[in-house]
């Protein structure tokens, strides 16, 4: 019996107002398609483009009207990406094996770690003191000491 892999959906770097996503086979990491989304905050509509495999131009474009309660969240993105995959399932048959979204977890963990690292440090707004320590000086130098002769 042939094993079927899910399709991993990963967020890529944005291109202007467009959010880019990569769809790849979970087992082989072979790219199935790429999708671009652009959300309109006023109407909750989402414009999209779909690039199959290594296409240089989108093979499909369109617009979805979404009804989202919590704004343009990761859940709304998953809803849009899943709906587009469903619409074009004939040309993207691999998506029928299921989609595994990895579009927000890594950024959230990094943000949490950054907040945890500085949680005990209170910013007093005195960057001069911070600069002295960052330069590798063992002692605080305020720059106001005059040398005695």
Tens digits of pLDDT across the chain (149 residues): 456 899 999 999 999 999 999 999 999 999 999 999 999 988 889 999 999 988 889 999 999 998 878 889 999 999 999 999 999 999 999 999 999 999 875 444 444 444 444 444 455 555 554 444 444 444 434 444 444 44
Predicted pLDDT at 71: 86
The DSSP line for 34-82 is EEEEEE-TTT-EEEEEEEETT-SS-SEEEEEE---SSSS-HHHHHHHHH
Task: Please give the torsion angle defined by the CA atoms of residues 24, 22, 104 and 47, in that order, rounded to the nearest 10 degrees.
Answer: -140
pLDDT of residue 70: 82
Locate the domains of the chain by residue range.
Answer: 7-103
pLDDT of residue 18: 97
């Amino acid at each position: 019996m042939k094993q079927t892999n899910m399709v991993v959906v990963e967020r890529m770097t944005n291109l202007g107002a467009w959010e880019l996503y990569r769809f790849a086979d979970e087992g082989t990491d072979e790219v199935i398609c790429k999708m671009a989304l652009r959300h309109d905050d006023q109407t909750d509509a989402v414009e999209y483009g779909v690039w199959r495999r290594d296409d240089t131009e989108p093979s499909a474009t369109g617009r979805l009207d979404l009804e989202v309660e919590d704004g343009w969240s990761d859940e709304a993105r998953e809803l849009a990406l899943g709906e587009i995959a469903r619409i074009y399932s004939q040309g993207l048959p691999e998506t029928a094996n299921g989609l595994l979204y990895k579009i927000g977890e890594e950024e959230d963990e990094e943000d949490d770690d950054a907040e945890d690292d500085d949680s005990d440090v209170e910013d007093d707004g005195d960057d001069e003191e911070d600069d002295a320590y960052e330069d590798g000086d063992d002692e605080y130098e305020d720059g106001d000491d005059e040398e005695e002769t």
